[in-house]
Structure 1
């Protein structure tokens, strides 16, 4: 009996370690300001001398400025990552400002390394994510000013402005470098491109339709 309890405890501990190491590890120092001039290749960015730290390493100005939404999808993402705030390096967080023109969308995409939590600052935004196979269930909601919504790590999600005016949101992400895979671009605009016959069979359309989509992206 005691052996079974010990084995059960070991499984729980190992599971906990597995979960812990599936995300960014905790930093081993107060901070690690990104040294953008370094040629050292690490999983993240090399640190500069902490004695050279300045307040500017930990700050960013500009999120009060609206992003230019004059593009095909009618939205703009303004990132705040370690590239904009070097002091974010190794701290496991980042954020973005999202601007949407009326009926503008942030197309379906994933963040392979981060969960996202979004807060609506202005407007009315329809959001949603799709669960993994085999259910592929859409979970969606229309958000108003002050509402919050979470997109779990790695799942395909989107946002759409369904109001008559501009919409604005702020999102925080649980990685300094969450990554973005925009589904349409990844599938139809890879380099080199995925063979047209593969895409035609996958989407159950003819190859001319695939060529048309590729030409428009």
Structure 2
């Protein structure tokens, strides 16, 4: 009887250990100093990219130039986001960070959007921005917002809808850091009204309590019109 209980206990410990190992290996830490992303497919594949031979890595694989240059904001949003992620700096692969410069014309905005894979921390370096995010449905969709001036910092949690808008009398500039090498961006209006193929008009009309004609117009504005 004691032997049976002992075997049962050992089995439970082994199963627990296996379960724990599966959990801990969900997003493992890098096992090497770096894994510079390579375009060739005959390399080692790590975290969505192929690794360059470490012997052929140079300092250029870890650098990017030009974030000091103001970007063109003559578009309907009056803003420009310059993302520096793993696609711009191959050396960011597996390191879990990236960066962006945000330029705003007077009245310009970075419209409501989410980053599905990263938390964002933003610092204003010029001008005045109104920033905010909306909590989840479980938290009653509360809006947290604040006016930021030069040197002020704000944090946006991963996956939450957030925005930035220039409310000052001059151009505004901010820099954002992300907790992912490839945070991704989903602009809400573009995704909902400009998807490909389009979400049926009847679905959006009922979801947003809008007239179908207005939904059709929004499809035209944000993407190709529905059938």
Q: TM-score, normalised by structure 2?
A: 0.84
Q: Which residue of 1 aligns with 2:136?
A: 132
Runs of 4+ more than 3 Å apart: 39-43
Q: Which residue of 1 aligns with 2:200?
A: 195
Larger Rg: 2
Q: Which residue of 2 aligns with 1:8?
A: none
Q: How much does 1:212 deviate?
A: 1.1
Q: How much does 1:89 deviate?
A: 0.6
Q: Of the candidates 122, 127, 132, which is equivalent to residue 123 of structure 1? A: 127
Worse overlay, 195-204 or 42-51: 42-51
SS of alignment partner, residue 155 of structure 2: strand
CA distance in 1, matches of 2:25, 2:98: 19
Alignment of 1:124-203 (within 5 A): 124-134=128-138, 135-203=140-208
Q: TM-score, normalised by structure 1?
A: 0.88
Deviations 1:180-200 (A, max 9, x none): 111001000101000001000
Q: Note if 1:28 corresponds to 2:15.
A: no
SS of alignment partner, residue 37 of structure 2: coil
Q: Of the candidates 104, 108, 122, which is equivalent to residue 108 of structure 2? A: 104
SS of alignment partner, residue 210 of structure 1: helix
Q: Which residue of 2 aligns with 1:4?
A: none
SS of alignment partner, residue 158 of structure 1: strand
Q: How much does 1:43 deviate?
A: 3.7
Q: Which residue of 1 aligns with 2:71?
A: 67
CA distance in 1, matches of 2:29, 2:112: 30
CA distance in 1, matches of 2:65, 2:175: 15
How many pairs are equivalent?
202
Q: How much does 1:37 deviate?
A: 2.7
Q: How much does 1:38 deviate?
A: 2.3
What 5-or-longer segments of structure 2 have no aligned partner? 1-15, 223-227
